[in-house]
Structure 1
Amino acid sequence: MDVFPLGLWLDLLGTFVFGISGALLAVRRELDVFGIAVLSVAAGLAGGMIRDALLGATPPTALADSRNLLTAIAAGACAFFGHRLLAKLNKPVMILDALGLGLFAVSGCGKALDFGLDPLPAILLGVLTAVGGGAVRDLLVVETPRVLREEIYAFAAMVGAVIVVIGAGLGFSETSTAVVGVVAVVAIRVVSALRGWRAPRAPR
């Protein structure tokens, strides 16, 4: 039996990169080691927990499998000890956030399809999975969630989820579909951030 199926790999990778993004935000806000751990766990696990709760998959994978919690804690530890090195990267939080967004959009939509949801609800759940952790992270430090204020964000996650639905419908390999979906989300998110693209706003 494969103890590391594709969905688990996507969840663990998404948990790690989102966990680091949460921990780096905590470091930037000068929080202590407990605050770093809290933001790392919240950013890494909240999206998957929201997904599982809506699917009725209880207990959530984040609680049923200790590997998820350990991964989030490890991400916090990496940021705690290595934040100076990570800070030398160009916009590290944004890049990690984009990668986590793609991983969770793909895993959330894929799990929804596995539970028998129709394509449209599966896409919605993929988006919720992708933006949930970042939203909780931002709310804990009293910031307006990125999904509501920044460049193309939820749209990027939606594109990744749509790719998963199309790939499943056409019978493509889950792995290749997941890779294409993640790459598409990261590309859209990074390019939109660099060019300042934003979703339309209400006219003043």
Structure 2
Amino acid sequence: MTTSTALLLADLTGVAVFAASGASAAVAKRLDLFGVVFVGFVAALGGGILRDLVIDEVPPLAFADWRYAATAALTAGATFWLHPRLARLRTTVLVLDAAGLGLFTVTGTLKALDAGVPAVGACLLGMLTAIGGGLGRDLLTGEIPVVLRREIYAVAALAGAVAVALLDAFGRADAAGLTAAAVFVFALRLVSLRRRWSAPVATLRPPRTGARGPGS
């Protein structure tokens, strides 16, 4: 299997995983079939579309290659019909979401580097590719985006993107190195969930009550 074929399979696997995640969130919000498929499409392909627009690849791959849209739509549709079974597989969905995060981080960063984007910008684009769809999913379903909450999600994607950029800089961005980077993101996400790691949150002090005014 060539590297390009492996990356295509990784990309489509990530599309399917995030489409299922988006569709599951839409089903929980009681959207109709079209709404479920649309949210699944956005969750699966939103980050990639954003990346392609930034690197001036028009039309974005999600529209230029029918396999991406078809994979997202079919997976979201299947999730709509099979959601009673999937609802009992919350742990499995979280594992698949972590796998998709790793896959999209690697493919997004690598594509940005191949387009000539400097390393820092490529890392940011890799992170946005991985989290952009989830951001769109949460906004469409009226939730505070996961990436803005305490969970280690965007941080895991950014760490993986930095790993890919380093591998590319040292000429080690081969199948083994990229697989290791994806596994790193996957493992970091799962470990953070299991150990309940979180980013720091500002502590808000309650307003003082009963304070004396001047001259009292």
**CA 1:94 to 1:84, structure 2 compared with 1: closer, same or farther past 3 Å?**
same
The residue matched to 2:142 in structure 1 has which SS? coil
Letter in 1 for 2:31: L
Contact 1:62 1:69 in 2 (8 A): yes
Greater shift, 28-37 or 84-93, is seen at: 84-93
Deviations 1:82-126 (A, max 9, x none): 223323324344223212211111111000110112211111110
1:120-139 correspondence to structure 2 within 5 Å: 120-139=120-139
Structure 2 counterpart SS, 1:151: coil
Instruction: Tell me which residue corresponds to 1:185.
Output: 185
Larger mean Cα displacement after TM superposition, 50-59 or 31-40: 31-40
How many equivalent pairs are there? 203
- Which consecutive unaligned segments of at least 5 residues does structure 2 have? 205-216
Gapped regions of structure 1 (runs ≥ 5): none
- 1:119 aligned partner: 119
Q: 1:100 to 1:60 in 2, by over 3 A?
A: same
SS at match of 2:131: helix
1:89 aligns with 2:89: yes
Contact 1:7 1:110 in 2 (8 A): no
Contact 2:47/2:129 (8 A) holds in 1: yes
Per-residue deviation, residues 45-93 of structure 1 (Å, max 9, x unmatched): 1000000011111110001111100010111122123223323324344
Q: Residue 53 of structure 2 aligns with which residue?
A: 53
Flag the 1:130–1:145 CA change in 2: closer, same or farther, 3 A: same
CA distance in 2, matches of 1:186, 1:123: 17
Q: What is the alpha-carbon distance in structure 2 between the residues aligned to residue 202 and residue 66 of structure 1?
A: 45
- Judge conservation of contact 1:152–1:192 (CA < 8 Å) in 2: yes
CA drift of 1:4 comes to 5.5
In the TM superposition, 1:131-170 aligns within 5 A as 131-170=131-170
Aligned to 2:211: none
Contact 2:21 / 2:40 at 8 angstroms: preserved in 1?
yes
Flag the 1:173–1:4 CA change in 2: closer, same or farther, 3 A: closer
The structure having more radius of gyration, on CA atoms, is 2
Partner residue in 2 for 1:34: 34
**2:104 aligns to what?**
104
What is the TM-score normalised by the length of structure 1? 0.92
8 Å Cα contact 1:7-1:111 kept in structure 2: no
- Using a 3 Å threshold, how does the CA distance of structure 1 residues 34 and 150 change in structure 2: closer, same or farther? farther
Normalized against structure 2, the TM-score is what? Answer: 0.87
